[in-house]
């Protein structure tokens, strides 16, 4: 089965790449209309839009770091930023990309040192924080656009989103009681279906017990919500700066509500990265909510925003994916080398113990020839031979006569993973 796994991964990878290219190429018409709106761009506003979008990606990386830190995983901002760009490219390029991106993030968190439970928790917690932050901003946007009668057409939908966000908070606060109910329900199901006791309930209880150790404080949750709001506000700022970049004013009254409506529509897994859905929703919502808004200028601003937030990060994310893939392969290779070296050292120690300290066989030739032995991935230190007595003949003269060629190997402590060991042959 393992022999078939590698070619399957290669075929599946090329298939997903083909689907991504087909899906993205089908919407490349956006780029053809983009040039007509930037015949005379305002470069200062264009630069501010790019800076704002970069801040959105950095906010997303900081949010993931905050969630990982709640599980005692310290990750560098640069590394998590690479994960953010790569997962964004996966989500934007593939149908149902959010699911593939979540699986990718799950694997990358494990590379950083998180276990299965913590990795899954970070994926879910990040999504929940982003949803709550977006729902909160949608409520603010609804209030800003309240003076326009058409804004109330989205009132029920926005209120429903806010209610779901509040329920998510309630579920988290009652997670202990809910987890106990779930475990008892699964245990009752085991008894009714005559399954072995604890077959499903015990692993589930262990997962919930592990999750109890991941309990961010109120300050950490507030910081995470702040980063979540930064993600959306900075991304909305990119769209906001796109209006003066194409030579029109910013529609302050309805821009936040229209943006939140577009992002909520993009969460539906209809097209990769919300292609077509976001553009249509943003344009229609803004023209609908803001009387007198120019449709042509709004379309231009939307296209510029999508180029900066969608098209440019695609190749950047692909490059980040390649960098992380190389880093993961190098780490895997080092772990295999370490395991192999540790196994060889254990075999040598067992051979020495079996021989009563006498160096025989090819495993210990390197020790008696004065060679060096790498100790990678094991308890670091020098491996050296100490001169000493092996034994005396019973009833001898007590002179401590030593058997020629016999050595006693001792392992030292301290050092790093690349420590080398030396063996000094005893002189008979």
Q: What is the pLDDT of residue 421?
A: 37
Longest dimension (CA), the chain: 113
110-119, 188-197, 266-275, 329-338: lowest mean pLDDT where? 266-275
Mean pLDDT value across residues 320-346: 84
> Who has greater pLDDT, 12 or 106?
106
Which of 2 and 355 is assigned the larger pLDDT? Answer: 355
For residues 115-136, give the mean pLDDT. Answer: 92
- Within a domain: 68: yes
Name the phi and psi angles at 20, rounded to 5: -65, -45
Question: Is 150 or 393 the better-scoring residue by pLDDT?
Answer: 150
Confidence of residue 74 (pLDDT cuts 50, 70, 90): very high
Give yes or no for residue 353 having a pLDDT over 80: no
Task: Report yes or no on 316 lying in a domain.
Answer: no
Please indicate, yes or no, whether residues 411 and 291 belong to a single structural domain of this protein: no
Do the Cβ atoms of 57 and 88 come closer than 8 Å? yes
Domain that holds residue 183: 2-72+119-310
**180 and 257 assigned to the same domain:** yes
Averaged pLDDT, 364-368 = 42
**Same domain, yes or no, for 368 and 227?**
no
Mean pLDDT, rounded, for 375-394: 40
Are both 51 and 182 inside the same structural domain?
A: yes
Averaged pLDDT score across all residues of the chain:
73
The C-alpha atoms of residue 282 and residue 288 are separated, in whole angstroms, by 10
pLDDT at 223 over 90: yes
Q: Are residues 269 and 377 in the same domain?
A: no
Same domain, 53 and 158: yes
pLDDT of the residue at 379: 40
**More confident: 390 or 207:** 207
Q: If you search the block for the tokens 């075929």, which residue do you land on?
A: 11
99 belongs to a structural domain: no
pLDDT average, residue stretch 153-168: 76
Classify residue 12: in a domain, yes or no.
Answer: yes
Summarize the chain as % helix, strand, coil (round to 5).
70, 5, 25
Segment among 181-190, 224-233, 342-351 with least mean pLDDT: 342-351
Is the same domain home to 381 and 289?
no
Give φ, ψ of 399 to 5 degrees: -80, -10
Residue 30 lies in a domain: yes
Same domain, 227 and 376: no
**Residue 340 — very low, low, confident or very high, per pLDDT cuts 50/70/90?**
confident
Domain count, the chain: 2
**Has residue 101 been placed in a domain?**
no
If asked whether residues 281 and 170 sit together in one domain, one would say yes
Which DSSP letter does residue 151 get?
A: G
Which tokens is 41 given?
């761009």
**What is the structure's pLDDT at 38?**
58
Do 188 and 279 belong to one domain? yes
pLDDT at 314 exceeding the cut of 70: yes
Domain assignment present for residue 315? The answer is no
Return the pLDDT at 93: 83
Q: Does residue 145 sit within a domain?
A: yes
User: Is 306:27 a contact under the CB 8 Å cutoff?
Assistant: no
- R_g of the chain computed on alpha carbons: 31
Q: Which residue has the higher pLDDT, 60 or 16?
A: 60
- 128 and 25 both lie in a single domain: yes
The number of helices, as runs of H, and strands, as runs of E, in the chain is 15, 4
- 184 and 261 both lie in a single domain: yes
* Cα–Cα distance for residue pair 207/200, rounded to 1 Å: 11
């Amino acid at each position: 089965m393992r022999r078939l796994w590698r070619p399957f991964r290669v075929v599946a990878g090329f298939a997903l790449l083909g689907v991504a290219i087909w899906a993205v190429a089908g919407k490349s018409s956006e780029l053809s209309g983009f040039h007509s709106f930037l015949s005379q761009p305002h470069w200062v506003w264009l630069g501010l839009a790019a800076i704002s979008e970069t801040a959105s990606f950095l906010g997303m990386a900081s949010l993931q770091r905050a969630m990982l830190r709640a599980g005692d995983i310290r990750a560098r901002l640069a590394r998590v930023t690479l994960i953010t760009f790569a997962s964004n490219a996966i989500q934007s390029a593939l149908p149902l990309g959010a699911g593939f991106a979540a699986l990718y993030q799950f694997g990358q968190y494990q590379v950083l040192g998180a276990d299965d439970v913590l990795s899954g928790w970070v994926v879910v917690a990040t999504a929940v924080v982003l949803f709550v932050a977006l729902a909160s901003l949608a409520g603010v946007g609804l209030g800003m656009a309240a003076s326009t009668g058409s804004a109330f057409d989205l009132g029920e939908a926005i209120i429903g989103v806010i209610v779901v966000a509040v329920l998510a908070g309630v579920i988290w606060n009652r997670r202990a009681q809910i987890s106990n109910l779930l475990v008892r329900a699964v245990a009752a199901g085991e008894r009714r279906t005559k399954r072995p006791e604890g077959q499903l309930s015990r692993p589930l209880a262990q997962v919930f017990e592990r999750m109890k150790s991941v309990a961010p404080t109120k300050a950490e949750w507030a910081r995470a919500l702040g980063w979540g709001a930064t993600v959306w506000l900075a991304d909305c700022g990119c769209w906001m700066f796109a209006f003066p970049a194409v030579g029109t004013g910013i529609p302050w009254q309805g821009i936040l509500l229209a943006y939140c409506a577009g992002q909520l529509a993009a969460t539906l897994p209809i097209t990769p990265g919300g292609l077509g859905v976001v553009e249509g929703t943003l344009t229609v919502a803004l023209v609908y909510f803001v009387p007198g808004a120019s449709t042509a200028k709004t379309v231009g601003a939307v296209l510029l925003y999508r180029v900066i937030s969608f098209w440019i990060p695609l190749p950047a994310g692909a490059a980040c994916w390649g960098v992380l893939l190389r880093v993961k392969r190098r780490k895997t290779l080092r772990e295999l080398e370490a395991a192999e070296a540790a196994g060889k050292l254990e075999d040598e120690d067992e051979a020495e113990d079996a021989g009563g300290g006498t160096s025989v066989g090819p495993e210990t030739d390197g020790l008696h020839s004065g060679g060096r032995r790498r100790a990678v991935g094991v308890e670091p230190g020098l491996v050296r031979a100490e001169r000493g007595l092996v034994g005396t003949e019973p009833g001898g003269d007590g002179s401590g006569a030593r058997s020629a060629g016999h050595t006693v190997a001792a392992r030292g402590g301290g050092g790093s993973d690349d420590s080398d060991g030396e063996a000094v042959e005893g002189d008979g």
